[in-house]
């Protein structure tokens, strides 16, 4: 395997960074496959009536059936992908994974959906269910409320028939194939 010449980044040459860029492109080649596997890792017992994997499929299926575009549907499919690696800030983890590939609006919705979802249960723990209102004047506040209402809080239904993961694979590949921004 080719390697860079440096041990400190400040000593790297253009050739070194060209090599790393090429290797990063190779790593990105199967990124959609890895994301699809990752969402499947959410299969298993959770305490909900369905698995997190089934929750993801329900969310994406509802969005697709409502006529949402591919990017939005993919955001629904992957919105909880951060649960496994970062349960206390899963929204931020999922949003940052998606950030290079989605609009600022969809990034914002996914990044904040965890707080907004608290509307449905924070009060059971003596917390403010309206904590999301700190963003009341934000232009995407209503969009995030809608996301949680239509494509998150109601997607734990064992009787709902979601589309299979294979249905969403082409969408994931299309969305992940185009970087909208290089860095945050």
DSSP class of residue 47 equals S
State yes or no: pLDDT of 116 exceeds 80: yes
pLDDT of residue 183: 55
pLDDT of residue 181: 67
State yes or no: pLDDT of 15 exceeds 70: yes
State yes or no: pLDDT of 11 exceeds 60: yes
Contact predicate 132/117, CB 8 Å? no
Stretch 34-40: mean pLDDT, rounded? 91
The tokens for 126 are: 């003596």
State yes or no: pLDDT of 108 exceeds 70: yes
Nearest CA to 147 out of 176, 112, 172 is that of: 112
Distance CA(58)–CA(48), nearest Å, equals 13
Residue listed under structure tokens 């899963």: 90
Phi, psi of 48 (to 5 degrees): -75, 170
Tally of CB atoms within 10 A around 167: 14
State yes or no: pLDDT of 32 exceeds 60: yes
Show me where the domains of the chain are located: 11-176
Which residues in 16-45 are b (16+ Cβ under 10 Å) and which e?
A: beebeeeeeeeeeeeebeebbeebeebeee
11-176 CATH: 1.10.3210.10
Which tens digits make up the pLDDT trace of 63-94? 999 999 999 999 999 999 998 889 899 999 99
């Amino acid at each position: 395997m080719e390697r860079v010449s440096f041990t400190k980044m400040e000593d790297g040459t253009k050739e070194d960074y060209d090599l790393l860029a090429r290797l990063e492109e190779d790593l990105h080649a199967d990124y959609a496959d890895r994301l699809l596997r990752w969402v499947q890792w959410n299969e298993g017992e959770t305490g909900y009536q369905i698995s997190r994997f089934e929750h993801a499929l329900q969310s994406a299926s509802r969005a697709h059936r409502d006529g949402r575009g591919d990017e939005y549907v993919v955001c629904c499919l992957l919105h909880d992908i951060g649960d496994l690696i970062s349960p206390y800030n899963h929204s931020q983890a999922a949003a940052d994974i998606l950030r290079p590939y989605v609009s600022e609006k969809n990034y914002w919705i996914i990044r904040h959906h965890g707080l907004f979802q608290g509307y449905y249960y924070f009060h059971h723990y003596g917390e403010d269910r309206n904590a999301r209102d700190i963003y009341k004047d934000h232009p995407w506040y209503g969009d995030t409320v809608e996301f949680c209402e239509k494509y998150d809080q109601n997607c734990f239904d064992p009787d709902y028939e979601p589309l299979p993961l294979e249905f969403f694979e082409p969408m994931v590949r299309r969305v992940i194939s185009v970087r909208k921004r290089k860095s945050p």
